Amino acid sequence: MIIKVSMLFVEWCRICELPGTNDAACAHYILQLHQNGLLKGEHISDRFFHLLMEISFSHCLSSEAIITGPLQSHQQVHSMSFFAIDIFSNLVFSILKYSPVDQGFSKFNLISKILAVTVRFIQKDAEEKKTSFNPRPYFRFFINWLSELGSPDPVFDGANFQVLITFANAFHALQPLKIPAFRLA
């Protein structure tokens, strides 16, 4: 399944990079995801989002480079490419925006599911990496989401309070008292 998800992510990157990408192209892509069954069923959609996170976060972390400051040799800046994180955030928001609301599908349930998968992914990553855990890609992901959800194009039609509570619960699960490495440095 990882190969299929990787190919779908590359296809989404191409769609996003096209000049003048419109809503119709995004909506068509999201419809394809639904038709392929990747957004249906608890296990399949969880695995789909987990693999997307794995791909985008590992790309971001592998792009990290240490750049020595020009004035002082001991001054170092860590830079990384957030391209894959931004594209993944955009994909998640587009799924929420363009997914059909029929057949028992709820956008609120989907965002709750994606946040739950995200929290588990971060908890596992922090546990495995301990002191080498880098929270910056995750912060970028959450900033992108909160920025998109606060835009004038409402996705949740008045359910913003429920969405904010869902984010609050996610941040509570990730607080530095529980995951010390998940903090602003």
Q: What angle do CA 35, 91, 89 make, to 5 degrees?
A: 150
C-alpha 125/C-alpha 135 separation (Å) is 10
153 within domain boundaries: yes
Q: What is the CATH number of the domain that holds 110?
A: 1.25.40.790
Quote the pLDDT of residue 126: 93
pLDDT (0 to 100) of residue 67: 47
C-beta separation of 161 from 110 below 8 A:
no
| Residue 180 belongs to some domain of the structure | no
Q: What is the pLDDT of residue 82?
A: 92
Question: Which domain, by its residues, includes 142?
Answer: 2-173
Residue 148 lies inside a defined structural domain of this protein: yes
- For residue 74, CA distances in Å to 53, 121, 176 come to 33, 34, 29
Residues forming beta bridges with residue 79, ordered by sequence position: 65
Q: Tokens for 6?
A: 């990787």
- 3-class SS of residue 3: helix
Residue 183 lies in a domain: no
In a domain, 179, yes or no: no
- Residue 123 domain-assigned (yes or no): yes
Q: Is-contact 138 84, C-beta < 8 A?
A: no
Q: Which of 39-48, 74-83, 89-98 has the lowest mean pLDDT?
A: 74-83
State how many domains the chain has: 1
pLDDT at 29: 93
178, part of any domain: no
The secondary element (H helix, E strand) that includes residue 144 is: helix 136-149
Least confident of 6-20, 64-78, 88-102: 64-78
- Looking at the DSSP bridge assignments, the partners of residue 67 are 77
Let me know if residue 72 belongs to a domain. yes
